[in-house]
Amino acid sequence: MLNEKEKSNDYNDWLKNSIKDEYLSYYEHSNFKITKSIGSGHFGKVLCANLKNTDTIFALKSFNTEFSLKDIVNEIKLHKHVDFHQNILRFHGITWMESETFQRSYSLVLQYADSGTLETYLTEHFNELGWNDKHQLAFQLASAVECIHNLDIIHCDLVCNYNININLLSILLYVSSRYNKPLDFTLNSSVITIRL
């Protein structure tokens, strides 16, 4: 049986080998210019960052000490598994960040949602949207959820002010290994909520 340090080394090796084998893209943290904080919570922090010498904007998600290296690897694997759907937030790679606040130095490099969360977007633009626009947003969200369900994943925490985002007038669903479960449990054992 592996002890915690050996398990951590296995996940660290997986990350290093995934970068070396080009399964994951690695970005030097010094190549990012942090422009603003997008949000923070129990998971850690999300920052908006420009890739230097380009006009490309990313979201960098760091993790607090509650998350183990195993959690981070599982999150990456989940992203790689669902990264093909147009309404699921793109995973671009990882970066290594020195941090005094957060024990885990890996950060996910994610697609930046230019219009924020669904809640913010609807609060600011609801009256400007026609019924066809509202229908399209609902259809896009349903399509993303259907996609993950077809992959035997249930999103257990759909929240319009947290993980449902808008980019270029399209829905982007954020999936996280902490809130997505395989379909191997009975629906009575878990309440799936959609809060709007």
CA–CA separation, 193 and 150 (whole Å):
19
Q: Which candidate, 158, 155, 173, 52, places its Cα nearest to that of 111?
A: 173
Closest by Cα among 167, 160, 170, 165 to 139: 170
Q: How far is CA 37 from the centre of its chain?
A: 15
Residues 6+ apart with CB under 8 A from 68: 8, 11
Q: Which of 115, 108, 172 is nearest to 144 (CA)?
A: 172
20 is an annotated ligand-binding site residue: no
Pick out the residues of the known binding site for ATP: 61
Pick out the residues of the known binding site: 61
